[in-house]
Amino acid sequence: MGERLRAIEERVHGIISSSIEVLGYELWGVEYNSKGKGGTLRVFIDSIAGVSLDDCVIVSRQVSAILDVENPIIEEYELEVSSPGVDRRLFNEKQYAAFIGEVLHLVLYASFKGKRKYVGLLSEVLDREMVLQIEDREYRIPFDLLQKVKVQPIG
């Protein structure tokens, strides 16, 4: 199931990224959750000026029109467009590198050293793994195990 959802997310990302950039936003990430007869497609956008509700509406209309033509998801789904927020989810190595020194919450696809969930300080981003500092231990976690990575809000 995870591979199918990841493939949908990658396909949608490829289809909509340039259109979102033309509108003046950064496509932060795409998340697809499938449940029962339908699913939810979340598109996260960002910009230097921040993201307002009006921005989300503009992007939602554009993305909806593109997806209606391209039809990358066979089942019914609901489209949501939002900012990444303060507890933003991170989707790729470039984003991980920008948050070195921050506390991250990780959920893994499979157990790593006996656990699937980690909370720790991101100390380094390497070629195919991140280094997470938890108390006095260092964990080198491979990118391909990462299911969901979120930044812990400060305060």
Question: What would the CATH number be for the domain defined by 2-82?
Answer: 3.30.300.70
Instruction: Judge whether 2-82 and 89-151 match in fold.
Output: no
**pLDDT for 150:** 96
Segment 10-20 shows an average pLDDT of: 96
Segment 83-111 shows an average pLDDT of: 94
What CATH homologous superfamily does 89-151 map to? Ribosome maturation factor RimP, C-terminal domain (2.30.30.180)
Each residue's pLDDT tens digit, 17-56 = 999 999 999 999 999 998 877 899 999 999 999 999 999 9
What's the rounded Cα separation, in Å, for the pair 73 and 32?
10
Higher pLDDT, 64 or 86: 64
**pLDDT for 88:** 93
Whole-model pTM? 0.88
Determine the distance from the C-alpha atom of residue 44 to the mean position of all C-alpha atoms in its chain, rounded to a whole number.
Answer: 8
Backbone region of residue 61 per phi and psi (left: phi > 0; alpha: psi in -120 to 50; beta: other values): alpha
Each residue's pLDDT tens digit, 45-72 = 999 999 999 999 999 999 999 999 998 9
The percentage of residues in the chain with a pLDDT greater than 90, rounded to a whole number, is 83
Let me know: does 45 contact 91? Beta carbons within 8 Å. Answer: no
What's the rounded Cα separation, in Å, for the pair 115 and 108?
8
Domain ranges for the chain, please list them.
Answer: 2-82, 89-151
Each residue's pLDDT tens digit, 115-144 = 999 999 999 999 999 999 999 999 999 999
**pLDDT for 155:** 63
